[in-house]
Amino acid sequence: MNNKVFLLYIIFCGYNSFSQEKIQKFQEARPLGFVMPKGYDKVIIPFEIYSNLIVIDVLFNKSLPLKFVLDTGVRTTVLTEKSLTDLLGLEYARKITIPGAGGEKLVDAFVVNNVSLNIGEIAGNGHAILVLEEDLLQLKNYLGVNVNGILGYELFSRFVVDINYDKKIIIFFNPKTFKKKGGFTEIPLSVEDTKPYILANFIIRDNEKIRGKFMLDTGASHTMLLDGRSNKKITVPDPYITSILGRGLSGNLYGEVARIDKMWVGPFSFDKVITIFPDQDSYEISLIQDFRNGTLGGGMMSRFHIIFDFGNSKIYLKKGKGYNKPFDFNLSGLIVIATGVYLRDYEINTVRENSAAKAAGLMVGDLIITINGYQTSERTLDEVIGLLNAKVNKRIRLVIMRKGKRKEIQFKLTRLI
């Protein structure tokens, strides 16, 4: 795992926790928003997975095909590139400043009203969206595909959302006609301030079981995050490594990465789970406004076939093909981003201290030309990351370009935790 701890942790204010009755009343009072075609009980759409994130196709304003991350952790639809709304000549209703947890300015954004967002056969009219003045998230560089925005709650509040990671399809069900599928385990869910939470147990060390509240965040690539501010018993266990954990609006997120002994979600359990422990100074969540002990991201949810039923405060879980796959973290010590017009140039963005890559002499800014004889220009970013994190003790032979000169570098992949 390399870029797969990449986080999309944007904080927007919300107010209500919706029951199914409230959702129905809201839809009747406000017929705008996402609507299933008349007479349909469900709509099926395909999706792509990049670094554990779900990416879907969206037709923006009935004219521009774009790609969006489907994110349970975001309330308001966000477009990351202002050039797109400028291109369409859309009118900006107002300009706002998105603050961090400490009140400081993160980024300016513009509100655009009456936008249409069509997803397959689902029509979405009359949306208000936020358009970032600067593309601080750099989604396309970290995911290796032209991703243009993020959307979430407005879909999850309207439909029962069935995410099949193995088949890479999403089924949006009409909540009025949805029936529980066989073979799934029902888990209680609370929707607070538009975000979904579950309770789960975990053991960091010494067999002490801790009960925690976790946000389910499909817009985060990591497996599990624990926030030490929320509980004095949450401390970073040995051994651990210090690393860049991801990126948000305020820049890089720093912290430690370690394995905890065990965690449970209902009857499902996992051992030696890779967990990130963010530094307080770079983590934007305010526990006063949004109490949680941590988050479960795409690295965990992609192990399941998962159904979100916000209206009835439930999720349904079933083991997926990846349920038993081992947990691992960035064996090379490199974070690589995609650059160039076609996002097929691969640049080293970060070299972790005390890593095999650092010892071999790799540097930030190096362009990776080949990996073990494979031309990187013929590979996706996920494939490049996979080659750089194949297995422990795998010898990696790189050809890089540094300041216009080709250079060969070799090292072995190493597990530090």
CA distance 242 to 208: 24
Question: Which CATH fold would you assign to the domain 185-319?
Answer: Cathepsin D, subunit A; domain 1 (2.40.70)
Q: Does residue 23 register a pLDDT over 50? A: no
Q: Is there a shared CATH topology between the 3-173 domain and the 334-412 domain?
A: no
Q: If you average pLDDT over residues 324-340, what whole number do you get?
A: 94
Element at 229 (helix H, strand E)? none
Burial of 183 (0-12, 13-18, 19+ CB in 10 A): exposed
The pLDDT of residue 107 is 83
Residue type, 24: Q
The pLDDT of residue 247 is 74
What are the C-alpha distances in Å from 103 to residues 74, 98, 205? 19, 9, 36
- Interval 270-279: pLDDT, tens: 999 999 999 9
- Interval 249-266: pLDDT, tens: 667 789 999 999 999 999
Torsion sign, CA atoms 227, 229, 233, 237: positive
Rg (C-alpha) for the chain, rounded Å, is 21
The pLDDT of residue 181 is 86
The pLDDT of residue 242 is 94
Q: Which of 17, 383, 30, 9 is nearest to 195 (CA)?
A: 17
Residue 292: pLDDT band with limits 50, 70, 90: very high
Distance of CA 403 to the CA centre of its chain: 33
Say which DSSP state 220 is in: B
For tokens 């963010």, what's the residue? 278
Burial of 206 (0-12, 13-18, 19+ CB in 10 A): exposed
Kindly report the average pLDDT of the chain as a whole number. 89
Map residue 359 onto helix, strand or coil.
helix
Question: Which CATH fold would you assign to the domain 334-412?
Answer: Pdz3 Domain (2.30.42)
Q: If you average pLDDT over residues 29-35, what whole number do you get?
A: 69
367 backbone φψ class: left, alpha, beta (φ>0; ψ -120 to 50) = beta
Please say whether the beta carbons of 361 and 409 come within 8 A. yes
Six token digits for residue 300: 């965990």
> How crowded is residue 59: how many other Cβ atoms within 10 Å of its Cβ?
16
Q: How far apart are the first and last CA of the chain?
A: 13
The pLDDT of residue 402 is 97
Q: Does residue 27 register a pLDDT over 80? A: no
Read off the pTM: 0.90
Burial of 45 (0-12, 13-18, 19+ CB in 10 A): middle
> How crowded is residue 40: how many other Cβ atoms within 10 Å of its Cβ?
14
Burial of 164 (0-12, 13-18, 19+ CB in 10 A): middle
Residue 137: pLDDT band with limits 50, 70, 90: confident
The pLDDT of residue 97 is 87
- Higher model confidence: residue 239 or residue 251? 239
Q: Does residue 4 register a pLDDT over 70? A: no
The domain limits of the chain are: 3-173, 185-319, 334-412
- Higher model confidence: residue 117 or residue 13? 117
Torsion of CA 371, 373, 379, 381, to 10 degrees: 0
The pLDDT of residue 100 is 61
Output the DSSP codes for 75-126: SS-EES-HHHHHHHTPPP-EEEEEE-TTS-EEEEEEEEEEE-EEBTTBEEES
CA distance 67 to 51: 15
The pLDDT of residue 8 is 45
Element at 266 (helix H, strand E)? none
Six token digits for residue 168: 């890479």
Half-sphere CA count of 390, side-chain side, radius 13 A = 13
Distance of CA 66 to the CA centre of its chain: 18
Torsion of CA 357, 359, 361, 365, to 10 degrees: 40
Q: Does residue 304 register a pLDDT over 80? A: yes
The pLDDT of residue 252 is 79
SS (H, E, C) 278-341: ECHHHCCCCCCCCCCCEEECHHHHCCEEEEEECCCCEEEEEECCCCCCCCCCCCCCEEEEEECC
- Higher model confidence: residue 8 or residue 412? 412
Residue 202: pLDDT band with limits 50, 70, 90: very high
The pLDDT of residue 291 is 86
Half-sphere CA count of 379, side-chain side, radius 13 A = 19
> How crowded is residue 244: how many other Cβ atoms within 10 Å of its Cβ?
18
The two beta strands, 209-216 and 294-296, are parallel
> In percent, how much of the chain has pLDDT > 70?
88
Give the class (CATH, top level) of 3-173.
mainly beta
